[in-house]
Structure 1
Amino acid sequence: MRLKTILFSAAAIVATPCLALAQAAAQTAAPAAAQGGPSAAPKSAPAAVEGVTVTGDGAAMRSSIDRRSYSVSNDLSARTGSIADALRNIPSVEVDVQGNVSLRGDSNVTILIDGKPSGMFNGDGRGDALQAMPADQIDRVEVMTNPSAAFRPDGTAGIINLVTKQTRKPGATGTLRANASTDGRYNGGVSGNYVNGKLTLSGDAGFRHEQQKAWQTIDRTTAAGTSSQDGVFENEGDMVNLRGGIDYDLTPKDRLSGEVRYRRMQFDTTGDETYETTGAFPDYTRATDAAMKRDNKAVSADWRHQFKGSEHQLTAHLEYEQTDFSRNSTAFTDYSAGADVYELFGFGADQERTNFKTDYARPNVGGGTLKTGLDFEWVKNDYDNHGSTGPSLGSQTLDPARTNRFLFDQDVYAAYVTYEKAFGDFTAQGGLRAEQVQINGDQVTGGQTFENDYFKVYPSLHLGYTVNENNTFKGSYSRRVQRPQVQDLNPYRVYQDPQNYRAGNPYLKPQVTDSFELGWQYRKGPAYYLATAYYRSSEGVVTDVVRDLGDGVLLTTRENLNKSRNGGLELVANGRLTPKITYNVSANAFWNEIDAGNLGFSGTRSATTLSGRANVNWQATPKDFFQINAFTSGKRLTPQGHREPFQMVNLGYRRKVNDKLSFVVTVQDALDSFEDKAVTDTPTLKDVTLRTANVRAIFFGFTWNFGGGKPRPEQFDFGSGAVGG
């Protein structure tokens, strides 16, 4: 496995400059990209977060002063797979086998949909949601490693914004999609739009069925002895996604919009585990049956007033969202010595979120652009755990140690201002965000309450210098925060199995990170090259810590580290090798140092990680399109050990029948190499946990565009290259 990782990483790092040289030789055969300024806004504003400059149609990669934007319209894995599958092909982004997302090695990432937060991506179920939600309605992925002060500072790694597809063609149009795999997975959806004068109606409906088999092994050595735990789990479930939207132009300058959304994710899991040990704890076998459901409902209203000039506008947004999560399970544990145990567990988490946001943008203020706004958010959480045990079914009694209720409210009141101005070839954007946070927690069962009110400011700075029409230098700084999640603060222990417990820490403090970047960008015709050096310094890093409770039983909780530092160099190349072959490759050399001395572990530890990805597209004929993409993620440091590298290779083929109909075939995890291995190695505890799943599958699908007007181009051609700058 280590040799495979080294080869993957070395290939990505070597390929980046080599493809750049090959690109230069091939440019004479490739048409130059269209060059131009920002286009006028269409009838309905795109779903992208404001700020990306667009030049050319369907650019694979775009950039602006504070972000990069990647098209997934030509990613065949996104056509048939989940959002997690689409993110795995995005530079800087990593997604492990459990759906956990990280950005340049930092898992504290904020995920938005069309610039707005979603309850589906909060809490422990975020990884499940990313692996269950289909990606076929995602148009672009925006990556902001140093967002400006106009954005919330949550997420020390930065922001990933999922931009959904928007169609504003006159008349009625729509798209029908369906895909099925060789292992019983399938998904489908329909989207439609109706445009008539001042009125625009849009809607989406999607369904995804997942089934997967997973394996987990845990080898553990403690003072009590050695143990081995093996489990096999079968997961099956469905995801439903519904959305309806309306835009109405009240006047030529005023637009009123509304949207309703409903998402449901429902999974059933059965598991069989065996536990063997040399210690005093008895061996056992364990059978589990669990049902999980997550409902997400939201309604929002928007108003936009356009002043004279396309960039002078005032917007207001009001949204209410409710997310209900439940997990109920039964377990039977057959001990080799002593009485057997039947267990019933229930876990519920309900969240209500209300958000009001207003933004004002005005150009030509002292020769620059001024943006300011208010952002208020009120969040209420209700966590309810209950458990009962007994020697047989129907004879269980309530277990107080596994029953508790936790209430948590968080209100955030924020105001921001940014100002951007060009001084010849030099551009500067400065910003400041001020936030007042009010937190109230109530551990109802234990009678514990706590409050935490604080005021903080978050500055940002972005600089750009244009050397010539092809070369640009950029620098940036931002301060970010990682607030503890609700479940991180609940002190009651959550029972996972006889050997594993999890608990929160009500004394957790927010993690604050200062992030610096310096980059060089080259763009000419279809070629785009980017080199970025970055450095992050964090105080009070929130991390998992594992403690031995005795008899081989472990408790995982959350703690604040003293500090952490990391930095690295990221290389990205995008362009054309021949008139029919395009590529996108990236590599990241990442250094990380953590200080866990305050937790009683060895003081400062450091490690260097290599990761990379490559995507090659071949337009064999006007109707036949082939694709291969691969990635590898290097070794990642943890306070008590590390996580092993992982990698994946995907293949794809698309056949365009006509302008309305196309078929697609994809092979996911073609080499069957995707796995997750975590190692804990301290003087008193050694633990190796390996998780694998039958990710490999072949998908068959089709897309049919219907309705009036010319259908949206399939965008086979990457020739327009990267834009912006």
Structure 2
Amino acid sequence: MNFLKAIITCIFSVAFLHCFSQQMIQGKIIIKEKEDLSFVNILLRNGADSAIIKSITPDTSGNFYVTISHYQTGMFIEVAALGYAAEIYQLQPPANDTFNWNINLTVQERELDGITINSKAPLIERKVDRVIFNVANSISSNGSDVFELLKKTPGVQVSHEDIGMTGKSTVSIMIDNRLVQTDGEELEALLRSMPAIEIDKIEVISAPPAKNDAQGNSGIINIVTKKKRRNGFNGTVTGSYEQRTKGSEHIDASFNYRKDKINVYGNSSINRNRFISLQQTNTFYPEQQQNQTLNQDNRPLYTYTQLGFDYNLKPNAVLGFRYTLGTLDGKTDEDYDNEVLHIPSLVKDSTILTNAFATDKGRRNVFNLNYEWKIDSSGKKLTVNADYFTRKGDKGRAFKTSDFFADGNSTGVSSDNKTFGTIKTAITTVSVDYEMPTVFAIFSLGAKTSFVHNNSDNVFTTFQGMDYIVDNDKTNTFDYKENTQAAYISAQRSFGKWDLQLGFRGEYTQTKGYSLSLSQTNTNDYFNIFPTAYVQYKFSEVHSLNFNYSRRIDRSSFWIMNPFRIYSTETSYEEGNPFLQPAFSNNFELGYTYKSIFTMTLFSQHVTNLITRVSNIDTVSNSFNFVSANAGTQTQYGVTMTLSIQPLSFWENTTQVFGTYSKFNSTFYNADVSYVKPSFSIETDNTFTLNASQTLSAELGFSFTSAQQSDFDVQRHFCNLSAGIKTFLFQKKLIVTLDAEDILKTDIWQMKNLYNGTFQNSYFDNRSLQLALTWKFGNRNIQAKRNLNKNSDEINRAN
């Protein structure tokens, strides 16, 4: 009897424990614009071998639930649907007996055994605070690169070595929310090394939200790479040769390796450029005119290396580290020919010849430590970033000047000078960001602090007797410190056809600059609020209207606040300005989108204390110089329109039209001046797929920009014709590209100062022919590195 009681007791105990050890998994699948969600697959998998424990089917509204007898370590839920990115949710021992999630699925292209399954998002989307170009849905992404894609991106203007937005003085380039810390030829080389097939979308943010630094009268272009999920190793190697007047070479390699909790990534590039630039500057004095020509042989060598890793501390928390090393080794030969003419006869009086050799070496290190914690399934997230940046640059210049009479005989006047200097920069930044979805709205808040220290010196020497003697009047040391503390909060809410977003960012800045030669200290201490507001109204699925407002601040780069002079010749130099004050801008935009083929934006911008580079004429010494100054106020009104169509199945066309009305007011030259000028530009880019397998394509592009106002200067019209051909080989692992730029040699930079008549005419060797080969290797379906790090604004100003 006692034995029977024991058996019965055990049976009931096991049944009791079994009932109370059962746990519930429940949730809701959310897919925008989908009503029947029963097509979604939900799989409960074993953590040890990923074996399927249970398969779950949601109801038509997306609700699902299932019970499990007992929790096992490593169990996870996989949610997948055809045409949508899979989502993985790790089960953790709960405080109660229920796992409860809201799961959002997003559209994503996937490849299965060479077959592309694509539930297409629109080619162009307008969100409440940005315009999105979905690259994967464009045939031009086939065999292209990121630099070429930007030419087809709404609102973006691209020319050789220059990327801009209408109405914005500068543009920041980000890759996966990380600010790229290069510009000019180095930036172009980096973007050309990135295959378009690896890009998911390009976000154009003309009015950056409160989360981003308020620095810069600039927009942001964020290039978002595709995210993949399998373990493995992959990479890309690119080599190119570009022929301008001289030849240039570029080699780039990148890799990504993922194994369970660890993801390691890196890239490295070497870019050896060589180009000849021809520049002409005409200056006018009361009794003479000087026509100076400059022939430059530029030979910069850039290297860029980045290595990083992410480690999953737990399924919802990742710790990452990244190190970046960049170097520059530049050499330039310069020949100046300055012809002096009498006014008004324009008879030649004399000639001043200068021969120079310049060197520019730099090395920068960037250390980044980051942490991301996805607190729960509702979307709460904490992100922490810490950056430390150092840069040391050494510049040197040796130049000899000789004067000659009109008949070519020497006047006996000559000089031999050398200048050299070192710039050291150290920047520390720490930021914390927190996202908190609630029933009322999605809140974001955060804080950032930065510490900047820049020290630079410039030594000017003149050869006298047997040695070079320091000229103390032209030698200086400048020390600059800047500390900024910032905090922000923003809220986004959607209801019906409306999307609203409102944000406020406060920044408190303290600066101190000290000039040794002037024995002068300049300090600033200011606090400002920068509001942002966005409103979007969707009339229907094909029509939407957007409005946004933002206030921005533009702080000068550290080096242009250094008051020392950099001499090109004995009669021409450039100097910094320690008295520069920040500029402020108010920006308004009204945008309209029709389907995914047409966007239009009306904008206005008002800038006070505009920081710009202006020319000065010294009528006493018959010399000229350039200096940065708070030159005045600028108001712009304009429109941008983008049309993306596919006239034929093999032909994709993107045409953009930009129109601007600019007004500039200034008292810089001790006189009230006002300049007004309308301008426009048009760009058209065409991609032609030449075979059914889409392994051969051609491109043809043309752009024209009319004369336009730029503070005191008017830039004359210019245009550019480009063409290219691309092919895939060896099962699309090898991409061969041949591109021609500025075929007609018409991309010429010409400026005239409306106040003093100074005229500049420059051609930077833009006509080129480039052959590039890209080889892709490894497993292309691994998960890419995370989107982290936003502490790069100060670093960008240091370069």
Matches within 5 A, 1:501-516: 501-516=573-588
Pair 223,75 (structure 1): closer, same or farther in 2 beyond 3 Å? farther
- Tell me, yes or no, if the aligned pair for 2:384 and 2:432 is still in contact at 8 Å: yes
Match of 2:451 in 1: 378
Q: Does 1:689 align with 2:760?
A: yes
Q: Which residue of 1 aligns with 2:341?
A: 278
Residues 445-479 of structure 1 deviation map (CA, whole Å, 9 limit, x = unaligned): 32111210111000000000011111111000000
What does residue 635 of structure 1 align with? Answer: 707
Query: Structure 1 pair 173/101, CA: closer, same or farther in 2 (3 Å)?
Result: closer
> Does the C-alpha gap of structure 1 residues 423 and 648 become closer, same or farther in structure 2, counting only changes over 3 Å?
same
Higher mean alpha-carbon deviation, 696-705 vs 449-458, is at: 696-705
Name the structure 1 match of 2:477: 405
Q: Does the 8 Å CA contact 2:522/2:579 hold for their aligned counterparts?
A: no
Q: In the TM superposition, what is the alpha-carbon distance from 1:304 to its structure 2 partner?
A: 0.7
* Structure 2 residue identity aligned to 1:152: D
* CA deviation after TM superposition for structure 1 residue 36, in Å: 11
1:669 paired with 2:742, answer yes
Q: Distance in 2 between matches of 1:505 and 1:705?
A: 49
User: Which of the numbers 145, 163, 166 marks the counterpart of 1:104?
Assistant: 166
Q: Are the aligned partners of 1:339 and 1:391 in contact in 2 as well (CA < 8 Å)? A: no
Q: Structure 1 residues 216 and 167 mapped into 2: Cα distance closer, same or farther (>3 Å)?
A: farther
Match of 1:613 among 665, 672, 683: 683
Query: What is the distance in 2 between the residues matched to 1:677 and 1:84?
Result: 25
Question: C-alpha displacement at 1:105, in angstroms?
Answer: 4.3
Report whether the alignment pairs 1:318 with 2:386. Answer: yes
**Shift, 1:604, TM fit:** 2.2
The residue that corresponds to 1:30 in the other structure is: none
- Residue identity in the other structure for 1:548: I
Which of 402, 410, 413 does residue 339 from structure 1 map onto?
413
Tell me which amino acid in the other structure corresponds to 1:605: Y
Aligned CA distance change for structure 1 residues 427 and 76 (closer, same or farther; 3 Å):
closer
Which of the residues 427, 430, 434 maps onto 1:356?
430
The answer (yes or no) to whether the contact 2:583–2:609 under 8 Å persists in 1 is yes
Deviations, residues 46-73 of structure 1 (Å, cap 9, x unaligned)? xxxxxxx866669764542212344778
Judge which range, 453-462 or 109-118, deviates more: 109-118
Structure 1 match to 2:726: 654
What TM-score does the superposition give when structure 2 sets the normalisation length?
0.77
- Give the Å deviation of 1:692: 0.7
2:362 alignment partner, one of 291, 294, 297: 294
Measured in 2, the distance between the counterparts of 1:648 and 1:42 equals 48
Residue 563 (structure 1) aligned with residue 601 (structure 2) = no
Moved more, 631-640 or 247-256: 631-640
Question: Is contact 2:233-2:782 (8 Å) kept?
Answer: no
Distance in 2, matches of 1:400 and 1:510, equals 30
Aligned-pair distance for 1:662? 2.2
For residue 136 of structure 1, what is the aligned residue in structure 2?
Answer: 193
What is the aligned partner in structure 2 of residue 205 from structure 1?
268
User: How far apart, in 2, do the equivalents of 1:72 and 1:263 lie?
Assistant: 29
**CA distance in structure 2 between the aligned counterparts of 1:382 and 1:707, rounded to whole angstroms:** 45
Q: Using the aligned pairs only, state the percent identity.
A: 21
Tell me which amino acid in the other structure corresponds to 2:425: Q
Q: Which runs of 5+ in 2 are unaligned?
A: 1-80, 90-105, 110-117, 343-347, 405-410, 784-799
Equivalent in the alignment of 1:328:
396
Residues 480 and 253 (structure 1), Cα distance of their counterparts in 2 relative to 1, 3 Å cut = same
State whether residues 229 and 781 of structure 2, in contact with CA within 8 Å, keep that contact through their aligned partners in structure 1: no
Larger Rg: 2
2:17 corresponds in structure 1 to none
Q: TM-score, normalised by structure 1?
A: 0.84
Return closer, same or farther for 1:350/1:703 CA change in 2, 3 Å cut-off.
same
Report the counterpart of residue 751 of structure 2 in structure 1.
678
Please state whether the residue corresponding to 1:130 is helix, strand or coil: helix
Paired residues of 2:140 and 2:687 also in contact (CA < 8 A): no
- Distance in 2 of aligned mates of 1:209 and 1:78: 27
Structure 1's unaligned 5+ residue stretches are 1-34, 44-52, 713-725
The aligned residue for residue 216 of structure 1 is 279
Correspondence 1:26-45 to 2 at 5 A: none
Pair 110,256 (structure 1): closer, same or farther in 2 beyond 3 Å: same
Compute the displacement of 1:710 (Å): 5.8
**Cα 1:189–1:562, aligned 2, differ >3 Å: closer, same or farther?**
closer
Instruction: Mark the CA change 1:693 to 1:496 in structure 2 (over 3 Å): closer, same or farther.
Output: same
What residue in structure 2 maps to residue 47 of structure 1?
Answer: none
Task: Please point out which of 584, 594, 611 is paired with 2:654.
Answer: 584
SS in 1 for 2:217: coil
Query: Aligned equivalents of 2:470 and 2:597: distance in 1?
Result: 62
2:221 matches 1:153: no
Q: How many pairs were matched up?
A: 657
User: 2:295: which partner in 1?
Assistant: 232
CA distance in 2, matches of 1:357, 1:436: 15
Once the two structures are superposed, residues 679-722 of structure 1 have per-residue CA deviations (whole angstroms, 9 ceiling, x without a partner) of: 1132xx3221111132222222222211235699xxxxxxxxxx
Q: Determine the C-alpha separation between the residues in 1 that align with 2:703 and 2:587.
A: 25
* Conserved? CA contact 1:463–1:475, under 8 Å: yes
Q: Secondary structure at the match of 1:390?
A: strand
CA RMSD of aligned residues (A): 3.0
Q: What is the distance in 1 between the residues matched to 2:292 and 2:684?
A: 36
Partner of 1:256: 319
